[in-house]
């Protein structure tokens, strides 16, 4: 719990620094990826009457995957399904998943343990945050809660 509080304080400090908002958000997602020992971190916000997710900041995605992640319909891919269901979507190993949740291009990330967590405001999805690790991984409830708090910190800067 103390680690989460410290992370949120670091994120708030990053997000209050000078410079461009996009640069601060970029630094914040890099901080989150580092804290969780993740290869990637994505932050999307809901747009267009909560039917699409818009990529706000990311680190670690190959360029062709990042291009596809710019605008995601609810219900498509891990982030879209997370938004549609309003609950975390996890995969112990994205590379071997055959559920159909992960899009084929997601395998190009070389990520195995992946999770996307929604941020709900007033019962609606306001944003999603996702991280991916280079190895198989099962995320704990504490980690899911910490990611939701990270998403709230990022969203407060928009």
Global pTM value: 0.93
Determine the pLDDT at residue 103.
66
Determine the pLDDT at residue 31.
98
Pairing label, strands 40-47, 124-132: antiparallel
Concatenating the DSSP letter of every residue in 113-145 gives: SEEEEEEEETTEEEEEEEEE-SS-----HHHHH
Mean pLDDT for each consecutive 10-residue tract of the chain (158 residues)?
A: 90 94 96 98 94 97 93 95 96 75 70 93 96 95 97 94
Determine the pLDDT at residue 109.
75
Residues in the chain: 158
Q: Under 8 Å CB-to-CB from 7, ≥6 apart: which residues?
A: 31, 32, 35, 146, 150
Determine the pLDDT at residue 105.
67
CA distance 142 to 126: 21
Tokens of 86: 């309003």
Long-range interactions of 50-53: CB distance < 8 A, separation 24+:
50/74, 50/83, 50/124, 50/125, 53/79, 53/80, 53/83, 53/128
Determine the pLDDT at residue 2.
81
Our measurement of the distance from residue 106's CA atom to the centroid of its chain's CA atoms, rounded to an integer in Å, reads 14
DSSP bridge pairs for 118: 128
Determine the pLDDT at residue 96.
75
The domain made up of 2-155 has a fold known as Beta-Lactamase (3.30.450)
CA distance 75 to 64: 21
Determine the pLDDT at residue 59.
98
**What are the φ and ψ backbone dihedral angles of 108, each rounded to 5 degrees?**
-65, -15
Determine the pLDDT at residue 136.
93
Task: Dump pLDDT digits (tens) for 77-118.
Answer: 999 999 999 999 998 777 776 776 776 666 667 788 899 999
Determine the pLDDT at residue 95.
77
């Amino acid at each position: 719990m103390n680690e989460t509080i410290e992370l949120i304080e670091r994120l708030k400090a990053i997000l209050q620094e000078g410079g461009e908002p996009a640069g601060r958000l970029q630094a914040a997602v890099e901080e989150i990826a580092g804290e969780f020992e993740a290869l990637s971190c994505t932050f999307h916000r809901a747009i267009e009457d909560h039917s699409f997710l818009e990529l706000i900041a990311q680190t670690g995605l190959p360029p062709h995957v990042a291009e596809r992640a710019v605008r995601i319909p609810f219900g498509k891919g891990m982030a879209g399904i997370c938004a549609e269901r309003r609950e975390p979507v996890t995969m112990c190993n994205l590379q071997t998943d055959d559920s159909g949740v992960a899009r084929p291009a997601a395998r190009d990330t070389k990520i195995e343990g992946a999770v996307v967590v929604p941020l709900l405001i007033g019962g609606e999805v306001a944003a999603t945050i996702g991280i991916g690790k280079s190895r198989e991984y099962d995320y704990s409830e504490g980690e899911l809660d910490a990611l939701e708090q990270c998403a709230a910190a990022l969203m407060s800067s928009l």
